[in-house]
Structure 1
Amino acid sequence: MAQRKSGYKPMKWDRYFTPEAAPAALLSAYDFGHVDAWNEPCAGSGHICAALEKMGCGPVFASDIAPLPDASVWTGDIIKSCALKTALPVLPLEGKRVVTVTNLPYGFQFRTALEILPHLIAQCYPTGAVAALFPIGFDTRESRRHLFRDNEAFCARVVLTFRLRWTNVEQKPAGPSSAHQWLVWDWLQAGKGLPCDVYRSEEDAVAMLERGLIGSPRTPGRRAA
């Protein structure tokens, strides 16, 4: 979930639930390889968790500062915890490959996200990865170079060529105007060169949801054709 300048009434706790096409587009583009566990620290009602499981990812661990369980979305447990203050909820897997996929609450001028994000990147060292959903342009501020240009784990941008519609807000006929991208930090790719840019359409996402992880042609560091 994340806050947006969309003309909609602000949602408490920045609850803007992510459609399944967003994580599907990410996994259609970037291959995380062998993953021991998946983590969603801002899970809300579990929309990203449900999409991950639908594509064959598991086990999936979920937490949120104010969980809103909804069995019609996801039947897994969502632990109540703050993403900024708690360790990974998968400590028995410490030292293994844990991948965090999340849509952070942004807060005013991205202040909340900028607090949480460095914590997530640091805590997955040395074998994990983080994929976070942000508007196009988030990574262009000079004040954020410590997360990008100066961060050896930053390795990929997965740009969505379709507009996201948050599942818990009233939809407008004209549709959303903001474009988004997944930004990926992967410690197993640290120091291997400039970030790759991959573009994914809604059709790519639908295909990924249908086929799952098996047989997917994803390769880290390779541009989309």
Structure 2
Amino acid sequence: MRILIVEDNALLAQGLSAMLEALGNEVLGVAGDAESFVTAVLADRPDVAVVDVRLPPSFTDEGVRAALHARELLPGLPVLVLSQYVEDTYARELIADGTGVGYLLKDRVARVDDFLDALHRVAAGGTALDPEVVRQLLATRSDPLTRLSRLSRLTEREREVLALMAQGYGNVEIADRLVVTERAVHKHVGNIFLKLDLPPEDSGDRRVLAVLTHLGAPRRTARDGRDGRG
């Protein structure tokens, strides 16, 4: 893969670069701020960008804002965002922007297999969300009475399946992780859609975005300047 790293912490950026190149990837460069990130995206058109949420000068939301802007300029650009903490607003915005997105806590980078799995899924147009991000998204919907009433319909197993769906896993992967049959997972997914009043469509990342939208992530529409895919 051709990867662009957007990280102002030189030590972390160098560590990521060394690891990714050792595994046969091509690191196109390291951008340390939002402006150079957007410039590099347009010049190099990477297969995926790994972006820190907080970049200079204010170290607030420059990274995710730049990621959203880069995806406007280069539609479909896969972006994996890294953050020190779970920041719900930023996670929701990124998720709502479409497929080919990920949001991981930086601790996850230390778990090399998990990080690489997420990176490959995002680069392939999939979705990868940190389990802690999923947990907080499920817990912070703006209309808690509706959230509680609908989530209370789910069994404990269905909640487990929902959390794994939200992380971007397909039915086969969920079955492996829960040590159940794929048929059982398919049944649970159907029950989840039914109980959460969602369309009964089971189509990979589209279903992830639908579930997370229902649980709190606002959907983008054509009026937002995007095509509203997902």
- Larger Rg over CA atoms: 2
Looking at both structures, which has the greater relative contact order when contacts are Cα pairs under 8 Å and sequence separation is at least 6?
Answer: 1
What range is the shorter-chain TM-score in? 0.3 to 0.5
Q: Which has the higher strand share?
A: 1
Q: Which has the higher helix share?
A: 2
TM-score (norm 2): 0.39
TM-score (norm 1): 0.40
